Amino acid sequence: MAPFTQTDQVNRLNTTAHLLQLYTMAETPASLAAVQVEALVVMKIIKHCSQTFPTTATGALVGMDVDGTLEITNTFPFPVVEVPAESHFDNAAPNPAAAAPRAKANAAYSGEMIRMLREVNTDANNVGWYTSANMGNFVNMNVIENQFYYQSQLNERTVALVHDVSRSAQGSLSLRAFRLSSKFMAGFKENKFTSEDLQKSSMRHQDIFDELPVKIHNSHLITSFIHQLQCPTTSASTELPPSLAALESSPFNKTSALAPNLENMSLSIDPFLEKNCDLLLDSIETHNTEVNNYQYYQRVLGREQQKINNWKTKRAQENATRATLNQPLLPEDEWQRLFKLPAEPSRLESMLNTRQVDQYARQVDSFVSSSTGKMFAIKGNLLPNEVSK
Amino acid sequence: MDSFLHLARPLGPVSVGTAPTTAPLNVVIQPQAIFSVLDHSLRRNADQERVIGTLLGTRSEDGSEVEVRSAFAVGHSEAEDQVEVDMEYHKQMLALHLKANPREVLVGWYATASELNTFSALIQNFYSGQGDGTWPHPAVHLTVSTQPGKDLETRAYISAPVGVTAERAADSAAFIPVPYELRYGEADKSGLESIANAKDAEERSATITSDIESLERAVEEVLSMIDRVSRYVESVIDEETPASTAMGQFLLNALALAPKVEPADIERDFNNHIQDVLVVSYLANTVRTQMELSTRLATAQLTLGGGEGAATGEKGNQRGKGNQNRRQDREEARA
């Protein structure tokens, strides 16, 4: 009888364990898969970012998390407050706005604002923050620390929206959503960025961010509003203009809200390439500094190790002579007290830098792909014979 | 567009001496303000006919132009014979808003129904009043009708006081329609375009397009416009549609914009242009590869060649090479 009950119990235990597992699985929903941004949010972010351009602008996002899709339904900008650099990285806060999302004053501000928004039926959950960027230069310590603060302190399911003002000026809106990967979160928490740790966790620069797809969503009213805006350009027949002056001053000749946006047909490449080269050079500079730091560390480490080895051999010799003279031996591990190995510099900065360069390179690629297309088209049009040959 | 004729009317007895101006006023509305209003309208309580809120923006120096830049909702309730507006909320929200946007000021208020009634007058008098209001500038009242099945109708008003006695004047106002214009900046254009992409989609959402996709769309759009124009020109030639000299002139002007350049010049410019682009792309990718390589070599477990010494030696070597290459890159890029 006894063994029977035992197996029975084990079985029951198993099922409870199983149930528990199921339960916890249901408790922690699937990680965020996509971000859906309301038109209102897009416009507000654009307004705030372009107003303060080229300084960084930041603000909070509110919304709701629906089955793995983060719906961002409203936003408000953060006030710019002078904050002391409380970051543990030296050069992290040269710009107060960039550090705003994690500043204490702003936590109170956004708490207050969200409370107010709740009263008028807005979705009152803090779901992240946004920042402006200039040519994709957003991979820096500030963004990392802000997002880390959001994901660790406030709510795990938060995103950072990055709006690139200068790229949007070229024609197509650039709005991207990022989260720190769980791997990076774990590493950043314990500041594990020495080469040994990185070898162990095999974390690479691609693993810093998870990018989420961004979708723009319109309410019915906005859809209807936009249809109305567009009416003049699609209307079927109109009166013929009486004179050239009348035509030039007519509403059709004005750039109405949604007239075709031909910004991205522009052929000018110089400002873009120049800016990109500048940024790349900056990154190379950073990279060199990092490499030099590391080499310095290696030299110092080598020297120290040399000293330790010398000391060890000396001590061994001494002990050998003492052994022959039948004297008590001296301890051999004293070197740990006498010498101090230098601390390895964190590789985080160079990792971020690599990620940043990656970003620039992709950006240039995407620009090149469209501009070469444009250029061949122009050539084909201006020199029709050349191409047909 | 409606036409406007502005008539200055004699001011009511109350404000003589401290006369608020009723001079002509131009209202400029930025799209995000309208979007906020529409969003609020969607979030109203089920039993509410209309909702109201505060408009913020900037005013030109002489006060003749008001630019509405943003808006926030204010709770209110209307009954048969009384209206309650959450003034405390309005004040707090205004203070919070001004903290983040110090340059914007209170310019007026909005309601999401076209109707103007006694309550509108009351609220208008509050917003245009002294102290918390916009006084001595007129407060702008914006109505956005959000009736289902009908076009959205936006109207802007300012008010003049009416009423024979002070008590009567407190709850009445003559609303004067003023012209308004929807204006958006260069930066808003790309955003609006992305938003407009979703307008015909069933689920009312759109993904953000890449550079090349939006270029494709722009090209298609231009092609369709050219088609439309050539169809028109053809039908004029076939004498199916009446000709218009103005249109002809306009098209001729547009065609004259095409540059006249020598084929050799084009060839040269084209080659320079494309070389620049490709070199930068090449360099960018080289830099990326070099950096990645250097980071990988520094952090990867090197087991080649056996001993520790060999591994570090190799590492140093590689990095030295990388540095050299990078320096070359940089010089090229500078040149």
Q: Residue B152 is nearest to which of A74, A215, A224, comparing CB atoms? A: A224
CB-based contacts of A57: which residues, under 8 Å, 6+ apart? A48, A49, A51, A77, A97, A131, A132
Cβ–Cβ under 8 Å, residues A323 and A329: yes
Q: What distance in Å separates residue B166's CA from the closest CA in chain A? A: 34
Chain B residues in contact with A388 by the CB 8 A cut-off are: none
Q: Residue A240 is nearest to which of B194, B206, B244, comparing CB atoms? A: B244
Q: Residue A1: pLDDT band by 50, 70, 90 thresholds?
A: very low
In this model, does residue A39 exceed pLDDT 80? yes
Q: Residue B208 is nearest to which of A175, A246, A277, comparing CB atoms? A: A175
Nearest CA-CA partner of A358 in B70, B284, B245: B284
CATH number corresponding to B26-186:
3.40.140.10
pLDDT at B75 (0 to 100):
86
In this model, does residue A356 exceed pLDDT 60? yes
pLDDT at A264 (0 to 100):
67
Asked if B78 has any chain A CB less than 8 Å from its own CB, the reply is no
Q: What distance in Å separates residue B171's CA from the closest CA in chain A? A: 26
Q: Please name the residue of chain B whose CA is at the shortest distance from the CA of residue A264.
A: B215
Question: Picking from A110-114, A240-244, A371-375, B196-200, which range would have the lowest pLDDT averaged per residue?
Answer: A240-244
Q: What distance in Å separates residue B275's CA from the closest CA in chain A? A: 10
| % of residues, chain A, pLDDT over 90 | 5
Q: Residue B42 is nearest to which of A76, A172, A219, comparing CB atoms? A: A219
Asked if B292 has any chain A CB less than 8 Å from its own CB, the reply is yes
Per the CB < 8 Å rule, is A171 touching B211? yes
Q: What distance in Å separates residue B49's CA from the closest CA in chain A? A: 15
Q: State the average pLDDT for chain A.
A: 77
Domain ranges of chain A: 31-80+97-222, 269-383
Per the CB < 8 Å rule, is B192 touching A257? yes
Per the CB < 8 Å rule, is A174 touching B199? no
Mean pLDDT along residues A347-353 = 84
Q: Please calculate the CA angle B310-B314-B315 and round it to the nearest 5 degrees.
A: 120
Per the CB < 8 Å rule, is A263 touching B298? no
DSSP code of B7? -
Per the CB < 8 Å rule, is A373 touching B287? no
Q: What distance in Å separates residue A248's CA from the closest CA in chain B? A: 8
pTM here is: 0.79
Instruction: Name the pairing type of β-strands B105-111 and B140-145.
Output: parallel
Handedness of CA B64, B70, B72, B76 (dihedral sign): positive
Q: How far apart are the first and last CA of chain B?
A: 56
Chain A residues in contact with B31 by the CB 8 A cut-off are: 43, 257
pLDDT at A41 (0 to 100):
92
Q: Residue B32 is nearest to which of A43, A59, A283, comparing CB atoms? A: A43
Task: Report CA-CA distances (Å) from B240 to B190, B217, B228, B231, B305.
Answer: 39, 31, 15, 11, 85
Q: What distance in Å separates residue B118's CA from the closest CA in chain A? A: 24
Cβ–Cβ under 8 Å, residues A214 and A35: yes
Chain B residues in contact with A103 by the CB 8 A cut-off are: none
Per the CB < 8 Å rule, is A224 touching B151? yes
The one-digit pLDDT tens for each residue of chain B (335 residues) are 466 776 665 554 444 444 455 566 788 888 889 899 988 988 888 888 888 999 999 988 877 888 998 898 888 888 877 888 888 888 888 888 888 888 888 888 999 888 888 888 888 888 887 777 777 778 889 998 888 777 788 888 888 777 777 777 777 788 888 888 888 777 787 788 788 877 777 777 788 777 778 788 888 888 888 898 899 889 989 888 887 888 888 888 888 887 777 888 888 888 888 888 888 889 889 988 888 888 777 766 555 444 344 334 334 444 444 444 444 455 444 44
Per the CB < 8 Å rule, is A284 touching B326? yes
> Domain A31-80+97-222 in CATH: superfamily?
Cytidine Deaminase, domain 2 (3.40.140.10)
Asked if B213 has any chain A CB less than 8 Å from its own CB, the reply is yes
Q: Which two three-digit tokens encode residue B72?
A: 């926030």
pLDDT at A13 (0 to 100):
45
Per the CB < 8 Å rule, is B246 touching A373? no
Domain ranges of chain B: 26-186, 209-258, 261-292
Chain B residues in contact with A62 by the CB 8 A cut-off are: none
Cβ–Cβ under 8 Å, residues B196 and A230: yes
Q: What distance in Å separates residue A340's CA from the closest CA in chain B? A: 22
Cβ–Cβ under 8 Å, residues B187 and A50: yes
Read off the pLDDT of residues B120-163 as tens digits, 9 standing for 90 and up.
888 888 888 777 777 777 888 999 888 877 778 888 888 877 77
Mean pLDDT along residues A296-321 = 89
Q: To probe the interface with A, which of B244, B281, B293 has the most A CB atoms within 10 Å?
A: B281
Read off the pLDDT of residues A201-235 as tens digits, 9 standing for 90 and up.
777 778 888 888 998 888 888 888 888 776 554 44
CB atoms within 10 A of CB B213: 14
Per the CB < 8 Å rule, is A214 touching B207? yes
Q: What distance in Å separates residue B170's CA from the closest CA in chain A? A: 28
DSSP code of B29? E
Q: What is the C-alpha separation between B159 and B123, in angstroms, rounded?
A: 11
DSSP code of B5? -
Chain A residues in contact with B190 by the CB 8 A cut-off are: 46, 168-169, 171-173, 261, 263
pLDDT at B55 (0 to 100):
92
Q: What is the C-alpha separation between A294 and A350, in angstroms, rounded?
A: 10
Q: Residue A257 is nearest to which of B152, B182, B288, comparing CB atoms? A: B182
Q: Residue B206 is nearest to which of A109, A199, A215, comparing CB atoms? A: A215
Chain A residues in contact with B195 by the CB 8 A cut-off are: 39, 42-43, 216, 218, 222, 226
pLDDT at B162 (0 to 100):
76
Asked if B1 has any chain A CB less than 8 Å from its own CB, the reply is yes
Q: What distance in Å separates residue A344's CA from the closest CA in chain B? A: 13
pLDDT at A258 (0 to 100):
56
Nearest CA-CA partner of A39 in A262, A213, A214: A214
Q: What is the C-alpha separation between A346 and A196, in angstroms, rounded?
A: 11
Q: What is the C-alpha separation between A143 and A149, in angstroms, rounded?
A: 10
How many helices (H) and strands (E) chain A has is answered by 14, 8
Chain B residues in contact with A165 by the CB 8 A cut-off are: 187
B 16-35 → A contacts, CB under 8 A: 30-32, 34-35
- Comparing B96 with A242, which gets the higher pLDDT? B96
Q: To probe the interface with B, which of A114, A297, A382 has the most B CB atoms within 10 Å?
A: A382
Three-state secondary structure call for residue B79: coil
Per the CB < 8 Å rule, is A367 touching B194? no
Per the CB < 8 Å rule, is B298 touching A294? yes
ipTM: 0.79
